[in-house]
Structure 1
């Protein structure tokens, strides 16, 4: 019986005779020694989409690779408390073996799904010699100008940079632990745009930010080719410090509670959101009524 088999798998939960059964607590793998993944070629051939890519000349299939897991930062908005917390970097040879196999299967673009793509000089230098483009999510304050140049030379065509706030006060409220000022961050983003076709500065709306100052810096970045969205109102994800600060440990209604609070707290939303997001119960009714 398949359910009996699940009972022997540590750190899992499953339904048995209508009841939820757990076998051990939360588990996070060490990850660093994971071998290269091998995907069937027909799966690869079915994936033509290049995630978060907006430049021209898109060639080959799209794929995802994870070179690291977790994040060394503890920003207040990030849903990483329960899983993917501690940062660990995967074995370099395994990552490159996986990438080389994907290239051999016709992949022309890789999106690194790392929580945060920290500068890895050895990885970037290895990618310089590979015929593949890629995209990343990162923090711009962790990159020096020479590493941004190497990032572009390695084939990076898309950067999603978690700037979050354009003011010192806003970044402090979000616990970003950022030592650079807004002018320095803006200069790095503009520098990155010289080497990478698409650079995005992610912004979150916080009450500490002066709207006029935010508009000034958004225009400054956009005029120089860096896309900066209208600040997105802060969402209290159940696995984030923000949620626990308001309600404590999450329970079975955590998502409903967070979403209801979110809709009640804000009248306007970002240009990358619907003008009026729908209630969670309404969304669930459209897909879960059966």
Structure 2
């Protein structure tokens, strides 16, 4: 008996309408189901791949933003290192200028000069440091230079103070203010009180009676009072064996043993002692021997 082929009927119904029956052989239904499964699987596959692509795109965008942030941070760090390096170079040059000043102070203080630079600065470097290590190394040199200059200043300061104290003590300038006329110079002169010549061991300044007389250097009052031909006078002891004498005064303003500073009033012009009228006798002595006071006056007088 011959077997009849298997057929399947699909009933298609429409909402609000009639229905329709579709008869399909078995192999066609299987093919339709296979195609439907393949289409569904393909959709699922591509949906999954699209989801993975969107996740990768989001990750890539995040990584791109992080890379940009790191790039900006690196540029900022390089700029910071460059500014730090330039500041260190400027500081080095300032330290070298300060070293020259210290050398001058050492010379004035009587100390030997230094042969080694406190900061090892080399010309030729352009731009900033390429790494934080270079900037830190440069600042390390600057720091070493600062410490060396601090050590030098501690060494120079006491000697310089002594030198400045000696300089301040040495006679310099005029003993009168506003009265610079010299009536009698240092050396041999005609005797104003009789015939012949005599040695004059100072300078005579014309000034009115009572004009203040000033110390030309800091020192200690060695003696005051009547000093023979100089009349009422003041004798000051200075550094380096110097002494200054202010004679023919009318009145004293200091006492023996008193410490005086340059420019301090010692007394007032008079005409005491061997004098022909009000004036000031000003004498400078070095280790007890009289010297010409003109080189110790203001440069204007020293050049005359």
TM-score by length of 2: 0.17
Higher relative CO (Cα under 8 Å, sequence separation at least 6) belongs to 1
Which is greater in Rg? 2
The structure richer in helix per residue is: 2
Higher strand share: 2
